[in-house]
């Protein structure tokens, strides 16, 4: 047996939103907002996660894949 540790991983895969918005345009807007430091604190985690998973998709990494967030 052994000890198990759970580490919650927030998720916001841009592919989930493709039916509703242009994820490329959305990512660029979020990058601009982040650069100008105008992302509200309450939204910062979601913005960072969206952009992280957006970059993963661009690099050919499936964020929904097993071990995608293993460091």
- pLDDT score of 1: 62
- pLDDT score of 66: 87
What pTM value is reported for the model?
Answer: 0.84
Q: In the chain, which residues have pLDDT < 70? A: 1-2, 71
In the block, tokens 């460091």 appear at 71
Is residue 26 within 8 Å of 14, Cβ to Cβ? yes
Of 51, 53, 50, the residue nearest 65 (C-alpha): 53
């Amino acid at each position: 047996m052994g000890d198990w540790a759970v580490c919650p991983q927030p998720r916001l895969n841009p592919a989930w939103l493709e039916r509703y918005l242009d994820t490329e345009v959305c990512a660029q807007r979020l990058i601009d907002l982040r650069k100008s430091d105008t992302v509200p604190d309450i939204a910062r985690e979601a913005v960072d996660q969206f952009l992280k998973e957006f970059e993963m998709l661009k690099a050919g990494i499936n964020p929904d894949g097993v071990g995608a967030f293993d460091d």
